[in-house]
Amino acid sequence: MIVSIGPLIPNGAAATSGLVQEGDELVLIDSAYVSGAQHRLVKQILELVGAQQQEVTLGLRRFNRPLPQVVCFTLFGECVVNGAYRLFNYDYLFYFIYTSN
């Protein structure tokens, strides 16, 4: 199963940053490799990390890039993460701090 980024809030921080795009595959949450993981497990990891810390590192794979692009941001953010169905939709704004290719 692929867990991917869904629609971004228009003119939101994620959309205007250009760092995250709809369809990006979520492959890492901090040091946890989640590519191919079940939707339920990915949701549990995100909720656990979000409850414990203010910042998380996500590894996102764009369909035309073989290696993950790492994006760090605070968990006051905006994004819809999709699996086979909508995982969750937080009404926050992501604040992007750092990215590396």
Task: Please report the pLDDT score of residue 82 as a whole number.
Answer: 34
- Across residues 4-33, what is the average pLDDT? 78
**Structural domains counted in the chain:** 1
- Cα-based distances in Å from 7 to 4, 10, 47, 54, 101: 10, 9, 20, 23, 22
Residue in this structure with the two tokens 């490799």, named with its chain if needed: 33
For residue 26, which of 10, 9, 49 has the smallest C-alpha distance? 49
Give the residue numbers spanning the domain of 56. 4-100
Q: Are 27 and 35 in contact (CB under 8 A)?
A: yes
CATH number of the CATH domain containing 56? 2.30.42
pLDDT at 89 over 80: no
What would the pLDDT profile of 52-88 be if each residue is shown by its tens digit? 766 677 777 776 666 555 555 444 443 434 322 222 3
More confident residue, 38 or 62: 38
